[in-house]
Structure 1
């Protein structure tokens, strides 16, 4: 009976240890990364219309902001709370500036290690579309 218990324990240990290094493939039989997708990827898209107080950005990946008044505020969550989170944000209003802020920390434009800012103004010909990534401490900003 003890040998049977030992064998069962070893099987469970080996099976669960193997899952820790698993790779998932979608439309591929030989995934090369933790998640390997051979095909298209769709992400959640939402449109946020500004309001009288700061409009919180807490859902979606591709976010269209539509300010209704100049410098209307759209606020990202804390990058500390959501390390690795990615947002693509676009001001879809052609005439009104959107103000992008964060609940904590700063925005750093790609390649900068100092000179972080606590808000970004998005308007027609400047910062129209931004890719923003949390590094666990701050938001890193890529302009498109």
Structure 2
């Protein structure tokens, strides 16, 4: 396996970020999952219906393609970004988020992620059941 020492994401490798807010917004043009902590956005995961493009937006407003793979196991969301997307966003390639939210927020996040990141490989295992791509 090649060395990953050259990668220096802003949050460090495999750093788990805690999320205490999940919001889902939808209009005619897009569906957006907003993940926040301590009153600020941690990341936005968006599907633009024009072209069915999924993308991620960091707190600085930088945009990159969505992850190639993701998992939601219980309350842990893992996003596997490509090297270019990780560099653009300043996130580790293996970005892990702990969703410290209630069950209703987990259900909303699950539903939004399944729609937004439908083209990526995924494993979802929450109280609503297990799904894999």
Give the TM-score normalised by the residue count of structure 1: 0.23
State the structure with more CA Rg.
Answer: 1
More strand by share: 2
